[in-house]
Amino acid sequence: MPVNEFNQPIGESLPGHTPGERPSAALLSGRYCRLEKLSAERHGMDLYAVYGPASPPQNWTYLSLNPVASVAELDALLQRLKQSADPYYFAIVDQADGQAVGTMALQRADTANRVIEVGWVIYSERLKRSRIATEAQFLLAQYVFETLRYRRYEWKCDALNKASCRAAERLGFRFEGIFRQAVVYKGRNRDTAWFAMLDADWPQVKQRMQRWLAEGNFDEQGRQRVPLREIK
């Protein structure tokens, strides 16, 4: 570890470090899905099944918003979201039929330190536990590390949301601790679980995810042969 002139330990030097750019991608394309910049006009009708009154109420427990009550309400919401620069929203689109099946966003972009967070992950029932869901996360992480060249990629969730915590670790994020009483939403307390992935972690994470996503890892019914957690 380096030390300064006072013999104090200090962080490693980062010669040539510059601020990062904000997300601006219009399209990130993979084998099973693509991420398109969110558009009320292009994705609205598909996303009504995801955001509307027929969506399972348990999907909204750990989100600070609630399902919309009408198409008009969804359109107003999506119009706001598509104008947002931070969070920067994407629709998750199935390559097979072009249908939008969920949304996700990059947010809290700290350009000076090249730190950014994934958030607002909202999946349809069709998308949950699917190859598309994993590939969507892969495409976003690849964009963060290989195009934007960020140093740190964060995942935060309600510490009681065990499904989200498991998903973060499955995808290669590392648990860093609990921020107690960090947020108030829907009139209740939230202790926030913090996870992060670093640029140094990405090459191994990328290799694991590519191996899992390979066609040979799935049988004729689309069932995985080897779980992502078991791929080293």
Contact criterion met (CB below 8 Å) for 118 and 65: no
Query: What is the reported pLDDT for 129?
Result: 79
Which residues does 93 contact at the CB level (< 8 Å), separation at least 6? 33, 34, 35, 36, 43, 99, 100, 101
**Rounded to 5 degrees, what are φ and ψ at 29?**
-115, 135
Query: What is the reported pLDDT for 88?
Result: 98
Alpha-carbon dihedral sign for residues 165, 170, 171, 173: positive
Q: Which two tokens stand for residue 47?
A: 């996303």
User: Count of CB atoms within 10 A of residue 132's CB?
Assistant: 25
Distance between CA atoms of residues 38 and 121, nearest Å: 13
- Per-residue pLDDT 10s for the chain (232 aa) are 899 999 999 999 999 999 999 999 999 999 999 999 999 999 999 999 999 999 999 999 999 999 999 999 999 999 999 999 999 999 999 999 999 999 999 999 999 999 999 999 999 988 887 899 999 999 999 999 999 999 999 999 999 999 999 999 999 999 999 999 999 999 999 999 999 999 999 999 999 999 999 989 998 888 899 999 998 8
Distance between CA atoms of residues 7 and 210, nearest Å: 44
Kindly report whether the peptide bond that precedes residue 87 is cis, defined as omega within 30 degrees of 0.
yes
Query: What is the reported pLDDT for 51?
Result: 96
